[in-house]
Amino acid sequence: MLAVFIGVIGGISAFGIIGLIIGPVLLTVLVALLRFLADHLSDQA
């Protein structure tokens, strides 16, 4: 819930009113990318 709130606030400050949608989506994509990279790097080690 806190992550969604941060995404909404960050999206609004960066993109204006359309940030209500874009902010949480970008945050979710970023978290998924970081998890993918962490899994990929742990498999290589």
Can you spell out the DSSP letters for 21-42? HHHHHHHHHHHHHHHHHHHHHH
pTM over 0.85: no
In tens, the pLDDT along 1-45 reads 898 899 999 999 999 999 999 999 999 999 999 999 999 999 887
Q: Which DSSP letter does residue 1 get?
A: -
